[in-house]
Chains A and B, each alone.
Chain A
Amino acid sequence: QVQLVESGGGVVQPGRSLRLSCAVSGLTFSNYGIHWVRQAPGKGLEWVAAISYDGSNKPYADSVKGRFTISRDNSKNTLYLQMNSLRPEDTAVYYCAKSIVPTHYYCGMDVWGQGTTVTVSS
């Protein structure tokens, strides 16, 4: 079945960097847009970024634009989120999630990973 597995979370000091990965299996990875969504402790969901199936479109939330970079390696079935200049307010569980409609990343996310926790603290 389709699986998404995040990794790379941890505790990091403000201003430092971290790279998250999302390994995808069970589908033709290169056909689907993928998202990063985060959830701060006790808070709601916040969309972070997405990447289209071919990597040509990479929209970001204003809160991370210029600091975070989403990318994908279709040969490795893996999605990445490079997070630079981290702030305490970036502390959250980060989920990767697959788009339900091939080639349209904004229609809904039908398969989610289990999440990886990022804590930004000195």
Chain B
Amino acid sequence: QSALTQPASVSGSPGQSITISCTGTSSDVGGFDYVSWYQQHPGKAPKLMIYEVTNRPSGVPDRFSASKSGNTASLTISGLQAEDEADYYCSSYRSSTTLVFGGGTKLTVL
């Protein structure tokens, strides 16, 4: 099961906006509206930031938004803050009832 494709790293300055892409296929990202995004700080468990492509769980700041176009999903963080520095993972439902994660993106806040 090949992983979804994410950039290895992105960076931005405080206050700026960044976007992380997540590319799959029509069998996963493009075929279903079940894309999720997770934030993980070092040594901590992942935290759900987005589910079902665009939905934010309660408590997640509205600086975090997401979308999908074709086989690529995107997570945008606006008004970057120092505490946003973390690893970010996308995941998607894949046909044959499995789930798949992206390889992860390290966000550096300069």
Contacts and interface: CB of A to CB of B under 8 A. Distances in A.
Interface of A: 35, 37, 44-47, 50, 57, 59-63, 95, 97, 100-101, 106-110, 112-115
Interface residues of B, number: 28
Contacts, number: 72
B85 interface: no
A113 B5 CA distance: 26
A59 B98 contact: yes
Given A61-B98, A113-B45, A47 B89 contact: no
B102 interface: yes
Contacts of B104: 44-45
Contacts of B101: 37, 44-47
B99 interface: yes
15 contacts: A35-B99, A44-B3, A45-B89, A95-B46, A97-B46, A100-B51, A100-B57, A101-B52, A106-B93, A107-B36, A108-B34, A108-B52, A108-B57, A109-B38, A113-B45
